[in-house]
Chains A and B, each alone.
Chain A
Amino acid sequence: MTSRLWEKLKPYGMISPSLAVFGIFFIYPIFYMIYLSFFDWNFVSPTKNYVGLQNFTDLLSDKEFMQVLLNTTIYTFATVSLTLSISLAIALWLNRSGLFYGFVQGAIFSPHIISLVSISLLWSWLMDPEYGLLNWVIGLFGLSPLQWLSHPDTSLMSLILVAVWKGIGFNTLVFIAGLQSIPPSIYEAAALDRSKRWRTFRKLTLPMLSPTLFFLAIMSMIGSFQVFETIAIMTQGGPVNSTNTLVYYIYEYGFRFFKIGYASAAGVMLLIIVGVLTIIYFRMLSKRVHYR
């Protein structure tokens, strides 16, 4: 009798530690954050003032926040579109086996496993307006030196450049994995049908790769919307707010100005953006299941 009961409870026992972690540190905080977004609280005072939607209306009428949203959106779309198109091109090029190809794949992948701290510091130095290597390199091509991170006109672009540099290797390898899951017999059939290379790419490779493409796009968008490390280390949101993005904005309002409710409201905005992207992701996930 007791053993029967144990048999029934066993699976719950086995999953409960994990569920507890997720519940306490992932699910509950979301609701807590939503709750906090309706209050005015400075973290030290014992009382929280209920302010209704005040935080949200403040947020939406705040010019700085609008700038932040714009920055984040530009950053996201530029990073994702550049990374994906360059990665796809490189993937088509490097999709071979062989020692040298493997070496190149490893080389372009390496930034992905290195701490963002290292990458941020390294690129801060590379983009140094006076002694940086990057100005020397563009000088070789006859271009005049840039201010990179130090000027509002180029700072966001510089951050995008770093993100693309870091992201290319990973995305390329995911694309290669996608390419390799396409059965070679399809290409043989296309060749027997006298299909030209470009046509084969348009009509076969790209459609068959589209699940990979969409998923990388969504995942990189979710990732890019939360950019923080490079900004915290390289620009601190400046100059003149030109690189301030959502997570950095939340961080500053939460930890520097202690406006917990206001920061939470900004967090809820980010939650909505990530949520919409996630729903699109799951829609596609179910579609992909049918597709396969």
Chain B
Amino acid sequence: MSAIEKAVQARESSERNLRPETWSGVKVMNGILKALNIIGMLGLVLIFALPFAWMISTSLKTLPETMIFPPEWIPNDPQWQNFIQAWNSGPFLHYFFNSVLIAGGILILQMLTMIPAAYAFARFQFPGSGILFGFVMVTLMIPSQLIFLPVYLQLSSWHLLNTHLGLILPFASSAFGIFLLRQSFKQVPEELIEAARLDKAKEWKIMWKLMIPMARPALITIALFSFISHWNDYFWPLVMTTNETARTLPLGIAKIRETEGVATWNILMAANLILVVPILIVFFFAQRSIIKAFVYNGVK
């Protein structure tokens, strides 16, 4: 992160040095450009912020207020009970616990399966390691949208449909996580491990005291990515459930539309806020790590 910042700074300073500012007209031009730049960026922010603002505004309106055109931004009398109504329109506490259980369960299981696998791929030479790692990489490229039908049939024959386990198990390990973590285990210098061996440290101690602490940034990246993706997931729980037992928040929110009728946008937006706000708060505080996690997943 800091390396990137440094690179940017270096680049900026170089750009500054290269721009000849010999006459004052250039300065005026630069001033105008600067203003345009800021206006442009504000416009850009607006494109992304306005929909959210609109969501908040709608969630506080009465139903008749939502049916005014041209729309009004500030509701006359904020309808806070919209949130209560949204929350009570379904078993939301149940959904919430399911979401926590499933996203959390996946995260914990992934850590348990992924760390040893990544460690083995990074540190040991064993016959077949190349082929097996290739196998992991192939998995990385298989999206769950592609295989939901056969997995559904499998889970159904094992009676795992509508169970939390059925929603957790298919994601009990993460190819992306293994890939990333192996990379960061590999970056631990061989000398450090040798030093630890000279210090009489056993293998498990090297793993726990040295490798895992050093791979902390990668682990945070993986954890954030995994939790947010599964917290938000709509497709998999939709496909793998037929009743309320294991359904999660996103499903519950989407369902309001059916139970409350299509046009109650104020209630829908209130429910939507319940889903969005926690993530946005987390994003606000851990923006850097989250962006890094997702962007890294894109770059690899």
A and B touch in the complex (CB under 8 A): yes
Q: A-side interface residues toward B, CB under 8 Å?
A: 8, 10-12, 14-15, 17-19, 21-22, 24-30, 32-33, 36, 43, 90, 93-97, 100-101, 103-118, 120-123, 125-126, 128, 130-131, 133, 135-136, 139, 165, 169-171, 173-174, 177-178, 180-181, 183-184, 187-188, 191, 212, 215-216, 219, 222-223, 226, 228-229, 232-233, 247, 250-251, 254-255, 260, 263-264, 267, 270-271, 274, 278, 281
Q: Does residue B88 face the partner (Cβ distance < 8 Å to A)? A: no
Smallest CB separation, B271 vs chain A (Å): 8
Are the CB atoms of B71 and A131 closer together than 8 Å?
A: yes
Q: Which residues of B contact A105 (CB under 8 A)?
A: 291
Q: Which of B135, B253, B279 contacts A27 (CB 8 A)?
A: B135
User: Interface majority SS on B: helix, strand, loop or mixed?
Assistant: helix
**Given A122-B55, A174-B295 in contact, is the A116-B232 Cβ separation under 8 Å?**
yes
Alpha-carbon distance A101/B52, docked complex (angstroms): 20
Smallest CB separation, B201 vs chain A (Å): 17
Are the CB atoms of B170 and A184 closer together than 8 Å?
A: no
Are the CB atoms of A126 and B51 closer together than 8 Å?
A: yes
Are the CB atoms of B145 and A8 closer together than 8 Å?
A: no
Q: Report the nearest A residue to B252, measured CB to CB.
A: A117
Q: B-side interface residues toward A, CB under 8 Å?
A: 4-5, 7-12, 14-15, 18, 38, 40-41, 44-45, 47-52, 54-55, 58, 66-71, 112-114, 116-117, 119-121, 124, 126, 129, 132, 135-136, 138-139, 141-143, 145-154, 169-173, 175, 178, 228, 231-235, 238-239, 250-251, 253-254, 257, 265, 268-269, 272, 275-276, 279-280, 283, 287, 290-291, 294-295, 298-300
Alpha-carbon distance A28/B135, docked complex (angstroms): 12
**Given A14-B119, A118-B272 in contact, is the A22-B238 Cβ separation under 8 Å?**
no
Are the CB atoms of A109 and B126 closer together than 8 Å?
A: no
Smallest CB separation, A292 vs chain B (Å): 12
Q: Report the nearest B residue to A105, measured CB to CB.
A: B291
Q: Which of A17, A22, A106 contacts B175 (CB 8 A)?
A: A22
